Amino acid sequence: MKKIYLDNAATTPILPEVINTVCESMTQFYGNPSSSHEIGRKAKSLVETARKNIAKHLNAKANEIYFTAGGSEADNLILRNAVVNLGIKTIISSKIEHHAVLHTIENLEKEFQVLVKWVDIKDNSEIDYVHLEALLKSSKGKILVSLMYVNNEIGTILDLEKVSQLCFENDALFHSDSVQGVGHFAMNTQLLKVDFFVASAHKFHGPKGVGFAYIKNGIKLQPMLIGGEQERGGRAGTENVHSILGMEKALEMAYLNLKEDALYIQNLKNYFIEQLKENFDNITFNGCSDSENLSSYIILNVRFSKEYSMLLFNLDIKGICASGGSACQSGSNKGSHVLNEILNETESKKTSVRFSFSKFNTKNEIDLVIDAFKNLLN
């Protein structure tokens, strides 16, 4: 049976070029970057070259990139540093953030009595920027705003320029979980006044278990993991050399044909929307996930007219891979915290499915999914 993979917001297939890079690294560049001999020095040189190349794609400086085990660790590293080392007393965030941010903020609130303020979400799932400005102006002491660039469940895009400008005007630090943005959208740290953001390689066809934190120059980082001086003292532990080099290659490939790939995937998403509307009544799209301007071209969150309790299971039986929300919540029976926040109780009980696309998907696959729905939605 042909598998149709439409869960790219959860993770992406690894590019052959990335696999080759990782394999070459594992066989030829196996040294410990902290070792002083030639083999160790070679590994160290490759890691630092990867850091420089990744920074170039973001118009950042190499010493602003800290390698981590992924986006969740990077979010934790930044948020905890903001409170413990930078004196943040107030965090402004939203209730539709990824749990890597939400749960970390909740823990910081309990542990350090940080004041947490939640910005309002509009009916279409956008941040209420007027309310954000009001929260910033009414807050005292050191403030951190933490808002994700692209929502991982419904694809809503944050206006990074607007938020970074508001934070700059109100002397607040700005952190953005950009896991669904890096590798899919151009990011220029010299134009944005963002202080922190994070990325994860497996969201842009790289290996799992590796990512990075961008931390603006001049902000001192203290490690969460103690035991070594790696990452300029920011993270103890031997560097994951082969995965770092794989991430470098994946990001290079992502930005090599970014415009062409984005246009192809957007057209595929538009085609899926058209086919859903044409073939089924009472289908709606959660948030603004059907918008070309307000939502990522990768993600489409579809709400059906009633509850189909076995829909994802039946899609899986037919070889179609999709998601009911974040993959991190796959074992939860509480439903999507994002959809629960933006939908009323009646609508949130209806079945919603997140489809997320990549350049490897085709219109023929979309047609097969539509045919599957014709059999299942009756």
Catalytic residue among 167, 288, 321, 328: 328
Radius of gyration of the chain (CA): 21
Q: Which helix (H) or strand (E) holds 17?
A: helix 16-28
Q: What are phi and psi of 22, to 5 degrees?
A: -65, -45
Q: What angle do CA 203, 206, 209 make, to 5 degrees?
A: 80
Q: Dihedral sign, CA of 188, 190, 192, 195? A: positive
Please, what is the angle between helix 99-112 and helix 71-84, to 10°?
30
287 with 342: CB under 8 angstroms? yes
319 sits in the region (left: phi over 0; alpha: psi -120 to 50; else beta) called left
- Is 321 an annotated catalytic residue? no
How far is Cα 185 from Cα 311, in angstroms, rounded to an integer? 32
Is 275:317 a contact under the CB 8 Å cutoff?
no
H helix or E strand, kind and range, residue 200: strand 196-200
Nearest to 296 by CA among 184, 139, 173: 184
| Contact between residue 177 and residue 211 where contact means Cβ atoms under 8 Å apart | no
**Six token digits for residue 316:** 């899986």
Cβ pair 215, 55 in contact under 8 A = no
Distance between CA atoms of residues 196 and 149, nearest Å: 12
Give the bridge partners for 285, in sequence order.
Answer: 302
SS3 call for 91: strand
Q: What are the E-state strand segments in the chain? A: 4-5, 65-68, 90-93, 115-118, 143-146, 173-177, 196-200, 211-215, 284-285, 299-303, 320-321, 352-356
Judging by beta carbons within 10 Å of its beta carbon (0-12, 13-18, 19+), is residue 270 exposed, middle or buried?
Answer: middle
Beta bridge partners of 284: 303
Q: Which residues are catalytic?
A: 328
